[in-house]
């Protein structure tokens, strides 16, 4: 019984590691599409083509992301924003966006 619990915990941990690895592949694909967008201007189309491809759908699924059209549109809009994933995931960027939202809400309230 104890061996079964240990095996189940180990398998769950391995699954989480694999999911994180595939999530890193998705982040790398986003960064590549952002670089393409800055260089050639076709980043959103590139990420959409990748996400709709068989390999892209499989990577998204393995990362725990449902490869729906809504997700593809979200990836395209993320690439269109042009903010690299390392910056977008940083604490400073999150705080800056929150501050900008608060300022916009205050201006809308004042108007």
Indicate whether 2 pLDDT > 60. no
What H or E segment, with its residue span, contains residue 14?
helix 2-39
pLDDT of residue 7: 76
Q: Is residue 101 part of a domain?
A: no
Indicate whether 6 pLDDT > 60. yes
Q: Is residue 94 part of a domain?
A: no
Q: Quick one: pLDDT band at residue 99, thresholds 50, 70, 90? A: confident
38-53 pLDDT tens trace: 999 999 999 999 999 9
Domains in the chain, number? 1
Q: Is residue 106 part of a domain?
A: no
- For the beta carbon of residue 108, count every other beta carbon within 10 angstroms: 8
Q: Is residue 97 part of a domain?
A: no
pLDDT of residue 5: 63
For range 82-86, the mean pLDDT: 89
């Amino acid at each position: 019984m104890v061996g079964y619990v240990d095996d189940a915990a180990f398998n769950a941990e391995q699954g989480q590691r694999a999911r994180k690895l595939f999530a890193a592949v998705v982040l790398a694909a986003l960064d590549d599409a952002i670089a393409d967008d800055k260089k050639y201007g076709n980043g959103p189309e590139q990420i959409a083509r990748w996400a709709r491809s068989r390999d892209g759908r499989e990577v998204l699924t393995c990362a725990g992301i449902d490869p729906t059209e809504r997700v593809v549109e979200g990836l395209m809009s993320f690439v269109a924003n042009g903010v690299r994933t390392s910056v977008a995931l940083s604490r400073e960027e999150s705080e800056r966006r929150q501050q900008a939202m608060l300022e916009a809400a205050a201006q809308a309230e004042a108007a």
